[in-house]
Every structure is written in C-alpha cells, then in structure tokens.
Amino acid sequence: MYNFLKKNIFLVFIISVALMYLLFIGATPLFDRDEGYYVSVVMNMLNNHNYLLPIYNNEYWLEKPILLYWLIQTSTLLLGKSIFAFRLPAACCGVLLILSMNFLLRKIIKDKTLSLIICASIAFMPLLIVISRTTMIDIPLVLSTTLTLLCFFIATERDKSCDRKWYYFSWFFLGLSFLAKGPVGVAIILPAMFIYLLIQRRFWHVFFRANIPVGILIFCFVNFWYFIVFWKLGYKFWNDFFIQQIFNRSSKSLVGGTAIFANLGGAFFYIATILLTTIPFIAPAVSGFLLALNKGLESRESTWDKLALLSAVFSIITIIIFSLSATKLPYYILPIYPFLGILVGYFWLNVKTSNNFFIPYKSVFWTIFYLSSLLIIVVSFVAPFAIYFGWDSISNAVSQDFNPTEYALPATLPNYLWILFLLGIVSILVIFLFKYFYRRKNINFMILTTIVGGFLYSLLAILIFFISISWLQTPAINMATELKSKLTKNSVVSELAIMKPSLHYYLNTDKINDYAFATEYAKSNKAQGIENYTIINNLNELDAKVSNKYPHYLITRDGLDIDYKSKNISVIKNLHPYIILGNNKAKQQWKNHNS
C-alpha cells in the first residue's frame, strides 16, 4: 500500500482535491446576496431563452460580465436546475487551477516534487477551497489570472523560435479574466508584468516579442460579448457596469456585508485576511516573499528566482490595489493565493538546498508561524463563548435594524458551535508536529505537516461554512417552501427590509418586488443607483401599491418595531424570524389552500 501511494502520489493527490472540491457541493443552501443574484440571473436568462443579456427581476442586470453565467447555464442545461449544477463550474475551475498549475510548473521549474508541494499548498488554502465550492465569479478570475501570468512567464523564458504561442496563450487568458470580472484582472496583471520586466531589464524585448496588435485582437475576440451588449444597450451598459460597478465600487463601499468589511482593518484588511485564511502556509509564503525580494532591483538569473520575483511583485500590486479600493471583501484577494503557493515552494527549495538546515528569515518565519496559529487558537476557543453569552444582544441588534439585510437570525444558536474548538486543536497539533520534525531536521515531514494541516483546516472550513449557511438559510427555505405551495401564476411576491435574491430560486419566481424603509442608508443607496428598491416610511404607504385584484404576499423580518398591519395588509403567518403578510386575496388564497 505504501509503495502504491509513493508511486502514485500525484494521482492520489488529484483524487483528494477533486473529492474535496466537488463532493457534496449541493448540500449547502445558496447564500445571499451573491449566490442568490447569480443563480437568479441564470434562471431568468434560461426562462427567457436569452443567452447574452443578464436579467434579474425582469430587468437588465449588468453588474458582472457573462462568463460565469454561461458556465452555469451550460451546467444547468446538462444537469437540470439544482444547487449542485449551479456550483459545479466554479468547483471545476478550482480543480482545473490545480491541474493546470502542476502542468505549467513542471515545464517551468522541471521538478515534480516541488510542483506537487506548490499545488498542494494552494489546493488546501481554506478560503480558496470554500469559495471554489460556491457559485462565485472569483474562482474563474483566479484561474484566468494565474494562467495569464504563468504563460507570460514561460514566453519570457523561451527563445524566439517558440515564445510567440505562449504570449498568445497569455493574451487569451487575459481576455478571459476580463470576461470573468471586467477590468479587475487587467488592473492587477499589467502593472505586475511591467514592474517585473523593468527589474529584469527586458521590457523592450518583451514589448516587441509579445506581438501586441495580434494580442489585442485575441483579447477583443474573447470579449466579443462586451461589444454586442454595448451595441444593444449603449450608455446604460456603460453606466451600470463601468461607472456603478467598477468606478463606484473602488471609490465607495457598496451594499450588504461589504460595508462591514470596509471599516474592518482599513489598509491592513487583506493582510489580516491572508494571515488567517492561508494557514498553515502563510509562514513559508512570507519568508519566500522576502527571499524573492532580497536582491532588490537586481535582475535575477535563475528560473526559480525569476518566478519568485514575479509572484512577489504580483502579490504586492494586488494587495495595494485592493487595499486602496473602498469596497472590501475577503475573497477579492484570492488571485494572489496561487502565487503565495509558489513562494511556499521557493522557501522550501531554499531550505532544502541550504547547508546546516538553514531557515531563511528565521525570526520572521517563526513569528508569522506562531502568530497565525495563535490567532486561530484564540478565535476558536473564544468565539463560541462570545457568541453564546452575547447572543441576545446580537439577535436584538440585527432584528431591530431597519436597513435591508440579507439574513434574519434564527431564534436559537446552531447546535455545533463546538466545531470551532477543532480549529484550535488542529493548530496545536500542527505546532507540536512541525516543531518536533524541525528539531529532528526532517524537512520532508515538516512540509507534510503543513500540507496535512492545510487539508484538515480546509475540511473544517467546509464544515463550518455548511453549518453556518444552513443555520442562517433553513428558516428562509422553510418559509419559502410553505409560501411556494400557495402561489399561483397571478400571485405577486414582495420583500420588505430584506434583500434575499436566493428566494427567486426557492420560490421559483422571476420577479420579487423590493421595498425598504426610509433609513439614511437605504435612501443613500437608492440615490446613488446602487439599489433599485422602492422607499416607504410604513406599511400604509404600500396600500396604494398593493392591488386587491391579485394575491399579494409581502415577506419581511420579525422583530421590527413597526405595526405589521395596514388597511389592505395584515399578517398571514409568522414563521420566525420571517413574517408573511398579505392582502385579502392572499389571505383567502392561503386559507383555501389549507382547507
């Protein structure tokens, strides 16, 4: 058995990655808002047989490019409408990222063992694996940015007889990054390439060899969708996509949980994110980063030194650009994770080739190693008690918030808070085993400890994500299931003080009217064009908008300090933490269905 595993280690690794990235991806409910938006858009497009113009709530929804929607549509047409089908494309992109990196790294560094170490380090970074198991745009972006830079690097290392095709591959994947998430990929890739080439004194050589006119044609061909949509919609597309989503998102924090993250850590937000979500690989990654930069502006000679320099430069540029942006979310920084994995490999290469078992930047390495582990230990042991004893205050604060929110908190805490303790236990085990093998100067088992530790952290991250989202979404799903059984073709559904696009899927409806109370936050978002809800002061203002000709259901949150009754609207059923209100037609329809 041992000999089989040793001979087929890469096969075993890929099977492990495929299982971790793909197994039970449909078990966790959709989360709001992003997954709800993307799935709702795909359902609308499929229902209307429209494969070019994204539609949400029966209106054009131009916040994101088309690539992910096309991938989900293909998966849905093949497998049917299910959460598994919705999430499969992003998960496959995650697996493809690992496979393609292994293939390209073997070409670059010509070392199967180090290529495997790098790929394992990337594959088991907890944040990357959790986001890969969701319906998110960021994983296709990570795949395309990574392939762009690696193909570019290979092109710069080839002689003139075979470099052009790699430049063309790089242009193609740069185009895919633009089709995945707009200018974001270009904004972080091109500055990194430019600075790297300046340090290497090769800018003009690459400038003339990259065949820029042909490259631009390839880029434009890949992004033909933009030209079609601009031709059809004109200024609306320019305003909704480039102005609202690109410029405004970088200059001011937008909606939902983003506002929380924007003020959490400021310029150091992404440093903290990396520290906590790449454990236990962060210490070798930081040391590898410092090694890559220790020659300053001198050009590098060896392939490994060049690759590490490009990885370090790209990481710096990406962190700076995203830190300057007002809108901050943890997964925005994911494009640098594959290159942090390369820096992990660079660190272990230097340890293995050094004399007397030398750890580069030893004090930095151990500081980061202990600090990241200690943070996880403290959070894992303190958070359950803080949540348990502060639950009443948290619940009251959320329920009494009049601003539209994605979630209403369930009445009780999840039953598995103790799962968080396991994170601390894994951290303690990783520290103990890593130090044990360090004292015995066993580098291979030190590396294995980090990889197995990353695997365990990732498993726990998947489990915690499943428990958290299931706990938050189950009341909404139960409410939607009961309401869905009452709906007819002429029923109207609205939501007040909540923004749950996932309800489109769970209610199987294309249209949900959005209403928000007249808070400063809601009025500001409405005025800036960020949100499209209707502002009201109380339920009485809805009377004029609610016709008694059709059954009209209104979903809102329980616990708000309002009168849940007006002339035409009253409570149909309280399904805490949600309440279903309705007009007389809706109440009669509900009653008739029950009888």
User: Read out DSSP for 206-271?
Assistant: HHHHTTHHHHHHHHHHHTHHHHHHHHHHTHHHIIIIIIIIIIHHHHS--STTHHHHHTSSGGGHHH
Widest pairwise Cα distance in the chain? 84
CA dist., res. 572 & res. 581, Å (int): 5
Question: Could you tell me how far CA 390 lies from the centroid of its own chain?
Answer: 29
Beta bridge partners of 59: 56
Q: So what's the pLDDT on residue 254? A: 53
- Tokens at residue 128, please? 């990357």
DSSP 8-state symbol, 568:
S
The answer to whether 185 and 174 are in contact (CB under 8 A) is yes
Between 362-389 and 269-277, two packed helices, what is the crossing angle to 10 degrees? 90
Q: So what's the pLDDT on residue 521? A: 87
pLDDT tens digits, the chain, 595 residues: what are they?
556 556 678 888 999 999 999 999 999 999 988 999 999 999 999 988 889 999 998 888 888 899 999 999 999 999 999 999 999 999 999 999 999 999 999 999 999 999 999 999 999 999 999 999 999 999 999 999 999 999 999 999 887 777 889 999 999 999 999 999 999 999 999 999 999 999 999 999 899 988 999 999 999 999 999 999 999 888 888 877 777 666 665 555 555 544 555 555 566 889 999 999 999 999 999 999 999 999 888 888 999 999 999 999 999 999 999 988 877 889 999 999 999 999 999 999 999 888 777 788 899 999 999 999 999 999 999 999 998 888 888 888 888 888 888 888 888 888 888 899 999 999 999 999 999 999 999 999 999 999 999 999 999 999 999 999 999 999 999 999 999 999 988 899 999 999 999 999 999 998 999 999 988 888 888 887 778 888 988 888 887 777 778 899 999 998 888 888 888 888 999 998 999 999 889 998 998 887 6
- Which of 246, 62, 26, 253 has the alpha carbon at shortest distance from 135? 26
- Which of 145, 194, 153, 152 has the alpha carbon at shortest distance from 173? 145
The answer to whether 33 and 470 are in contact (CB under 8 A) is no
CA dist., res. 59 & res. 242, Å (int): 18
What's the Cα-to-Cα distance from 180 to each of 66, 67, 86, 195, 479, rounded to whole Å? 7, 5, 16, 24, 34
CA dist., res. 54 & res. 232, Å (int): 13
Q: So what's the pLDDT on residue 414? A: 83
**Domain limits, the chain:** 2-360, 486-594
Q: Roughly how many angstroms between the first and final C-alpha of the chain, as a whole number?
A: 63
Q: So what's the pLDDT on residue 248? A: 60
- Which of 420, 341, 422 has the alpha carbon at shortest distance from 387? 420
CA dist., res. 352 & res. 100, Å (int): 25
CA dist., res. 357 & res. 441, Å (int): 7
3-state secondary structure of 513: strand
- Tokens at residue 581, please? 């209100």
3-state secondary structure of 515: strand
Q: Name the residue with tokens 């047409």.
A: 77
> Phi and psi for 411 in degrees, rounded to 5?
-70, -30
The DSSP bridge pattern shows strands 570-575 and 552-557 to be unpaired
Beta bridge partners of 553: 493, 582
Q: So what's the pLDDT on residue 249? A: 56
Question: Could you tell me how far CA 72 lies from the centroid of its own chain?
Answer: 16
Question: Could you tell me how far CA 134 lies from the centroid of its own chain?
Answer: 8
Q: Which long-range contacts (CB under 8 A, 24 or more apart) does 290-294 make?
A: 290/360, 290/361, 290/364, 291/346, 291/347, 291/350, 291/360, 291/361, 292/343, 292/346
- Which of 171, 101, 521 has the alpha carbon at shortest distance from 340? 101
Burial of 252: CB neighbours in 10 Å, binned 0-12, 13-18, 19+: middle
Q: So what's the pLDDT on residue 361? A: 87
Q: So what's the pLDDT on residue 408? A: 86
3-state secondary structure of 428: helix
Cα within 13 Å of Cα(405), Cβ side: 19
Q: In 10 A of CB 288, how many CB atoms?
A: 29
CA dist., res. 57 & res. 44, Å (int): 8
What one-letter code names the amino acid at 94?
Answer: G
